[in-house]
Amino acid sequence: MNQHVNNVKYVGWVMESVPVAVFENYELSSMTLKYRRQCNQSDALQSMCSPTSYTAKLEKEAEVEVNGADCSYTAGSQTSIPDVAKCVPPHLQFTHLLRLQVDGAEILQGKTQWRLKKSKHLH
């Protein structure tokens, strides 16, 4: 009636920016949202997502141990590529931002945490 967006709609917009590979391999374990201001149904928004330092560290470090496997690898080196199936991190974290497209005003900040789907766990 007042043309404001329901809180559930914000969750959908936050999830739109999560990479497809995350949905394929992980399940959402927690979500924290901080609403900064309301928006109207006619507002154009930008939904952005980036890995937190924890996730980025797992993706970029030359020497990482995940699931008990040595996942060391330096891009461009002649060393063998580690067994990717064993080097999937068990948890991921992302930060999120929804903002107005017209002026960049923040609508919402958020954080999501993801755990590896049970079917993807290695035994």
Q: Which of 7, 25, 39, 87 is catalytic?
A: 39
**87 annotated active-site:** no
Tell me the C-alpha distance between 120 and 90, whole Å: 9
Whether 39 sits among the annotated catalytic residues: the reply is yes
Catalytic status, residue 4: yes
Strands 26-35 and 106-116: antiparallel
User: What are the φ and ψ backbone dihedral angles of 10, each rounded to 5 degrees?
Assistant: -60, -40
Closest alpha carbon to 109 in 39, 16, 37: 37
β-partners of residue 91 are 115
Please identify every residue annotated as catalytic: 2, 4, 39
